[in-house]
Amino acid sequence: MDLKALIRDIPDFPKPGIVFRDITTLLRDREGLRYAIETFETKFRDANLTPDYVVGIESRGFLFGPTLAYQFNAGFVPVRKPGKLPAAVHSVEYDLEYGTDKVEMHQDALPQGSNVIIVDDLIATGGTAQATAELINKVGSQLLGFGFIVELTELGGREKLPHVPIITLVQY
């Protein structure tokens, strides 16, 4: 299936010169959505990556993470922007083009030594995914790999990530 055909390009969003890769058109297509989830599962299984937990990055990682966790009979853990989680959190700050941002995860979200995969809709510069990997390390869990629907290859985000399998379904 051609997932690229199901992803809408929105020029000049959120600012001039940027082409936004909108996956909402993929999400509404029942065959495309099923194909994306099943392809993720197959690729992770083919790489012998069986997680105890799937970690989804806010917010579009929440769309794929729970379903993938269900497929693996695993738990799901959200990683959020600051101030969204009610219990004690671990935080990691990361660089943006103009400033910094932060991601957080509950301190008790993952048991030490658990096997984890991280999913999100897109990898661009890799900052958010790298920070999420640091959260996994902080709690003593084992990062098995990453999964992204879209990879913007020219931004080089893959090079910032730990040396674990990185599964992407569409590359631009």
- Residue 129 Cα distances to 57, 67, 86, 135, 156, angstroms: 8, 19, 22, 10, 12
Active site residue 38: no
Task: Pick the catalytic residue from 8, 45, 80, 97.
Answer: 97
Do residues 157 and 151 make contact, with C-beta atoms less than 8 angstroms apart?
yes
d(CA 6, CA 68): 20
Active site residue 45: no
Task: Pick the catalytic residue from 60, 80, 104, 151.
Answer: 60
C-alpha closest to that of 150 among 47, 36, 70, 63:
36
Task: Kindly report the backbone phi and psi dihedral angles of residue 170, in degrees, each rounded to the nearest multiple of 5, phi listed first.
Answer: -140, 135
Tell me whether residue 83 is exposed, middle or buried, using C-beta atoms within 10 angstroms of its C-beta: 0 to 12, 13 to 18, 19 or more: exposed
For strand 53-57 and strand 115-123, is the pairing parallel, antiparallel, or unpaired? parallel
Q: Which residues pair with 145 in a beta bridge?
A: 117
Q: Which residues pair with 21 in a beta bridge?
A: 9
Active-site positions read 60, 97
